[in-house]
Amino acid sequence: MFPKAHLIQAPTPLHRLDRISADLGLDLWIKRDDLTGFAMGGNKGRKLEYQIAEVLRTGAEVVVTCGAVQSNYIRQLGAACAMHGLRCVAAAMRLPYEYGPGDYPGLSDQGGNVVLDDILGVELHVYEDGTWERLYEHAAILAQKERLQGAKVHEIPIGGSSPLGAYAFLEAGRELQKQGEFDWIVFASSSGSTQTGLTHAYAGTATKVLGIASDPEPEIAADFAELSIGLMELIGAEKALRADDFLMNFDYVGPAYGIPSPEGTEAIQLMARREGIFLDPIYSGKAFAGLMSLAQKGEVKGKVCFWHTGGVPVLFA
């Protein structure tokens, strides 16, 4: 429906987790978006297929975005830009915070995605820790500087959460519908295009689409509703979702966004030791910790799909 650059190998694999299914008394499956075959995997590859096509259509030469320094989006955007001869400029902070920095040990600004960004030629500008608003300002200033130097610039919001990004996950939901039927789909949710797209794909069905939040702010459901309006405008449909149409759980964020949690670390170890699969400490590990705990409470049951959104390079940060 929209122009698309080919980046990922789809459909991504879906398979059963036999050992953890037995442990939890669930019929548990995993959707392997960690195995997209693109730039070390992750959910951002799907969004980028549409977003890079859009950038190419506008004739831009430079893409400017922002994120946490260990952003998985910046890494995958960097790869997509490199493949198409575009410069990728990114504003980053080690720990952007809405309510002031915490006292917890966060991720390193070395290793992990930062190494990969460097290999890809991403122009990563790392600023002193501050608020998300401050980070967006840094990105706007970088974009303005490029424009003043005569470059044609395309700006992409944090995490690639645009209506096109949500559209990519509407399609991803349809991809899963061809692979199997589920009572629950559970995944890590943050900037919202994954959850917005999947929730649209399953709207009006019996399947429950549950985002385990990686950010502590319940207001993000309002942002998702806004994204839904953008998605509806894009595809010319009428009925957007409202904030309370999104099934979200905020109990497994741990200390803060971007800070590993003890439960998340345990979940990472369990998934590796029982199934030989790596999760990440910021998103998928926390989400899987949430899934296990909700399954133990009997709140999530039946045939369940855990959507692995990637992030594995962050294990090295």
Residues that bind ligand PLP (CB under 6 A): 42-43, 72-73, 159, 161, 188-195, 280, 283-284, 309-311
**Dmax over Cα atoms in the chain, in whole Å?**
60
Closest distance of CB 249 from ligand PLP, Å: 14
Closest distance of CB 247 from ligand PLP, Å: 14
Active site residue 71: yes
Beta strand pairing call for 27-32 and 14-16: antiparallel
The answer to whether 303 touches 182, Cβ cutoff 8 Å, is yes
In the β-sheet with 14-16, what is the strand arrangement from edge to edge?
14-16, 27-32, 303-308, 184-189, 208-213, 247-249
Closest distance of CB 147 from ligand PLP, Å: 27
Q: Which of 308, 305, 307 is nearest to 26 (CA)?
A: 305
Closest distance of CB 191 from ligand PLP, Å: 3
Query: Looking at beta carbons only, is 146 or 215 nearer to ligand PLP?
Result: 215
Closest distance of CB 2 from ligand PLP, Å: 18
* Exposure b/e, 2-20, CB count within 10 A at least 16 = b: eebbebbebebebeebeeb
Residue with tokens 């296990």: 292
The catalytic residues are 71
